[in-house]
């Protein structure tokens, strides 16, 4: 690997931007492709699939065997609301390798006794969220049921282009939320990005089951190609 390739790779990784390094294993020839340049690349389909699956793989192109090494950032999960569902959701997400943070300004909820070993921020979203560096590789879940907490958090998630945004509440609750967010300047396309009611429809009843439904929906959003995603939703 050329030093400049290694430098570029490390810089992209530090900035949490996904890249794939393509190596011709017969002769060591190599090139680095940033995710933003996939669309213009002749290997677009292969690169996009490998990144979506987060899996390094081999492809054969014109008789050459190429190794695609995927460098995807660790996905984060930000949970707004230290509620009962979150107590099940946080450990489940951690077992799926997400970096989990729970945010809730209500200290009675955001207590270490209720969330052992989970990073907790007992602050309002305007204080809690900026230091978390919420980005595209972040799944964002708002489950407090309190518009004073959920709404500003969701506006932050829109701004940071999170790959998944979900919010707890029935269709009726969600319609009201849409009105409030619109009044605060949210675009129609932003509101359409919110998964609500949250989670895949698996008939979840208990908080743990709802947590499974949420993580299933996040996984589908992360791994399925965009078209199938719409079918699943």
Longest dimension (CA), the chain: 63
Q: Does residue 95 bind other proteins (CB under 8 A)?
A: no
Residues that contact other proteins, how many (by CB under 8 A): 25
Indicate which single residue of 19, 33, 70, 162 sits in contact with other proteins (rule: CB under 8 A): 70
For other proteins, the closer CB: 19 or 103:
19
Indicate which single residue of 48, 57, 173, 219 sits in contact with other proteins (rule: CB under 8 A): 57
Binding mask 7-46 for other proteins (x = CB under 8 A): x-xx--x---------x-x-xx------------------
CB of 153 to other proteins, least distance (A): 24
**CA-based nearest residue to 123, from 78, 92, 165:** 78
Indicate which single residue of 32, 47, 72, 200 sits in contact with other proteins (rule: CB under 8 A): 72
For other proteins, the closer CB: 207 or 224:
224
Quick one: which H or E segment has residue 100? Answer: strand 99-103
Indicate which single residue of 36, 55, 176, 223 sits in contact with other proteins (rule: CB under 8 A): 55
Whole-angstrom distance, CA of residue 86 vs CA of residue 93: 10
Residues that bind other proteins (CB under 8 A): 1-3, 6-7, 9-10, 13, 23, 25, 27-28, 54-58, 67, 69-70, 72, 74-75, 97-98
């Amino acid at each position: 690997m050329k030093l400049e390739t290694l430098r570029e790779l490390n810089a992209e990784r530090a900035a949490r931007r996904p890249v794939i390094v393509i190596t011709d294993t017969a002769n060591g020839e190599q090139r680095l492709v940033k995710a933003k340049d996939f669309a213009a690349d002749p290997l677009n389909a292969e690169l996009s699939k490998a990144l979506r699956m987060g899996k390094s793989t081999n492809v054969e192109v014109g008789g050459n065997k190429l190794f695609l090494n995927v460098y995807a950032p660790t996905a984060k999960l930000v949970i707004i609301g230290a509620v009962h569902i979150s107590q099940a959701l946080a450990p489940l997400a951690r077992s799926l390798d997400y970096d989990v943070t729970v945010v809730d300004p209500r200290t009675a909820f955001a207590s270490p006794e209720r969330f052992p070993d989970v990073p907790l921020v007992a602050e309002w979203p305007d204080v809690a969220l900026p230091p978390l560096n919420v980005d595209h590789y972040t799944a964002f879940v708002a489950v407090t049921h309190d518009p004073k907490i959920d709404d500003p958090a969701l506006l932050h998630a829109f701004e940071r282009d999170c790959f998944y945004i979900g919010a707890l509440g029935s269709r009726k609750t969600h319609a009201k939320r849409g009105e409030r967010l619109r009044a605060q300047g949210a675009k129609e396309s932003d509101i359409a990005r919110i998964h609500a009611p949250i989670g895949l429809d698996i008939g979840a009843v208990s908080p743990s089951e709802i947590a499974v439904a949420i993580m299933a929906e996040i996984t589908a959003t992360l791994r399925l190609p965009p078209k199938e995603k719409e079918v699943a939703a």
